[in-house]
Structure 1
Amino acid sequence: MHSARERVEHERWLAEIARIGDGLDLSPEAISCAEDLFLADVPAADRSKRVAAAASLYAGGLIAGDGRSQGEVADAADVSRLSIQQRWKAVVERAGLEAPGW
Structure 2
Amino acid sequence: MYSARERVEHADWLEELDQIADRLDLSSEARSCATDLFLADVPEADRSKRAVLAASVYAGSLVAGDGRTQGAVADAADVSRLSIQQRWKELLANAGLEPPRW
Scaled by the length of structure 1, the TM-score of the pair is: 0.95
Aligned twin of 1:36: 36
**Deviation digits for residues 62-95 of structure 1 (CA, Å, limit 9, x no counterpart):** 0000010000000000000011111100011111
Partner of 1:74: 74
CA distance in structure 2 between the aligned counterparts of 1:84 and 1:63, rounded to whole angstroms:
15
CA distance in structure 1 between the partners assigned to 2:66 and 2:90 by the alignment: 20
In structure 2, distance between residues paired with 1:91 and 1:47: 17
Q: One-letter code of the match for 1:41?
A: D
Question: What is residue 62 of structure 2 aligned with on the other side?
Answer: 62
Q: How large is the RMSD of aligned CA atoms in angstroms?
A: 1.0
1:100 aligns with 2:100: yes
| Amino acid corresponding to residue 40 of structure 1 in structure 2 | A
Q: Between the two proteins, what is the percent identity of the paired residues? A: 73
Shift of 1:97: 1.1
- d(CA) in 1 for partners of 2:45 and 2:96? 22
Measure, in 2, the Cα distance between the counterparts of 1:36 and 1:48.
Answer: 17
Shift of 1:101: 3.5
Cα offsets for 1:27-48 (capped at 9, x unmatched): 0110110000001110000000
Q: State the number of aligned residues.
A: 102
Identify unmatched segments of 5+ residues in structure 2: none
Q: Give the unaligned 5+ runs of structure 1.
A: none
Partner SS for 1:67: coil
Tell me what 2:8 maps to: 8
Q: Which residue of 2 aligns with 1:85?
A: 85
CA distance in 2, matches of 1:99, 1:24: 21
